[in-house]
């Protein structure tokens, strides 16, 4: 597999001017194309990303992480890429873990490979760790298989299989929806261990608002 030709990185960003350049440069050590989706940033995220040598698509307003991922993945497919690897723009994912995703895809033929942070779960802030463990248990029960880390945004996605999914969420619940949708569609899903880089208090997750969105999606998805 010639990954530099068939795979690009998609990085959704919101106000990440301080972190996007080193992240983008790190990804470029492993893949030749990076697409930053600036989801309505109020800072210089777009210009800093361009200065780091990557492509940028910009939403004029903040539409949510899910919407940014959809924009990036659709653009990747339109450009002829077969795969996309997604990383969060806040620097919590280590680009040096990218080769593990590519090896897993070659060895298992899975169409979705998710990062698994649970070997170093204590590096995740306690509230987010507890929420992740609870959500992962719920999704595992519904999927009928053990899913160790349902909320990690570090993923390798086969774009043809992604394009056939019907996805409705536009915020952080996208991680759960995509994972469950791949499994329901009969696609193979695997996990690879990844490092945990704490991002301090700068997470864009709003505990109450995003938990409420997730619960609403969970209720709707139970009827599917």
Q: Looking at the predicted structure, is the pLDDT value of residue 171 above 80? A: yes
Q: Mean per-residue pLDDT for 194-216?
A: 72
Task: Specify the DSSP class assigned to residue 22.
Answer: H
Cβ atoms of 148 and 118 within 8 Å: the answer is yes
**What average pLDDT does the segment 99-118 reach?**
97
Domains of the chain as residue ranges with CATH: 3-221 (3.90.550.10)
Would you say residue 210 has pLDDT above 90? no
What does the alpha-carbon distance between residue 214 and residue 148 come to, in Å, rounded to a whole number? 18
pLDDT band at 219 (very low <50, low <70, confident <90, very high): confident
Cα–Cα distance measured from residue 37 to residue 159, given in angstroms and rounded to the nearest whole number:
17
pLDDT at 178: 97
The average pLDDT across 92-109 equals: 97
What are the DSSP calls for 143-206, one per residue?
HTS--S-TT---EEEEHHHHHTS-----STTHHHHHHHHHHHTT--EEEEE------GGG----
Task: Give the global pTM.
Answer: 0.93
Mean of the per-residue pLDDT values of the chain: 92
Distance separating alpha carbons of residues 207 and 38, to the nearest angstrom: 22
- Is the pLDDT at 102 greater than 60? The verdict is yes
Q: What is the mean pLDDT of residues 195-206?
A: 68
Highest mean pLDDT among 65-74, 201-210, 212-221: 65-74
CA distance 94 to 23: 8
Give tens-digit pLDDT for 20-35.
999 999 999 999 999 9
Q: Which carries the bigger pLDDT value, residue 1 or residue 111? A: 111
Whether 49 contacts 21, CB under 8 Å: yes
What is the residue whose two structure tokens read 């593990």? 100
| Mean pLDDT along residues 62-75 | 97
Do the beta carbons of residue 83 and residue 156 sit within 8 Å? yes
- Tens-digit pLDDT profile for residues 118-164: 888 777 778 888 888 999 999 999 999 999 999 999 999 999 999 99
- Residue 202, pLDDT above cutoff 80: no
pLDDT at 199 over 60: yes
| Secondary structure E strands in 67-117 | 83-86, 112-116
Token digits of residue 121: 């779960």
């Amino acid at each position: 597999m010639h990954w530099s030709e068939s795979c690009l990185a998609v990085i959704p960003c919101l106000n990440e001017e301080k972190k996007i350049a080193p992240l983008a440069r790190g990804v470029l050590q492993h893949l030749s194309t990076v697409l930053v989706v600036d989801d309505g940033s109020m800072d210089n995220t777009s210009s800093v990303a361009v200065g780091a040598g990557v492509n940028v698509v910009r939403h004029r307003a903040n539409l949510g992480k899910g919407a940014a991922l959809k924009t990036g993945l659709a653009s990747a497919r339109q450009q002829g890429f077969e795969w996309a690897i997604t990383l969060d723009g806040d620097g919590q994912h280590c680009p040096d873990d990218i080769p593990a995703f590519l090896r897993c895809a070659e060895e298992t033929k899975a169409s979705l490979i998710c990062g698994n942070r649970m070997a170093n779960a204590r590096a995740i802030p306690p509230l987010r760790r507890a929420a992740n463990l609870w959500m992962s248990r719920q999704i595992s029960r519904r999927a009928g298989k053990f899913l160790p880390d349902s909320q990690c945004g570090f993923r390798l996605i086969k774009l043809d299989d992604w394009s056939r999914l019907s996805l409705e969420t536009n915020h952080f619940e996208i991680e759960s929806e995509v994972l469950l949708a791949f499994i329901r569609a009969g696609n193979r899903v695997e996990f690879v261990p990844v490092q945990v880089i704490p991002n301090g208090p700068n997470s864009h997750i709003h505990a109450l608002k995003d938990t409420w969105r997730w619960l609403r999606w969970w209720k709707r998805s139970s009827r599917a």
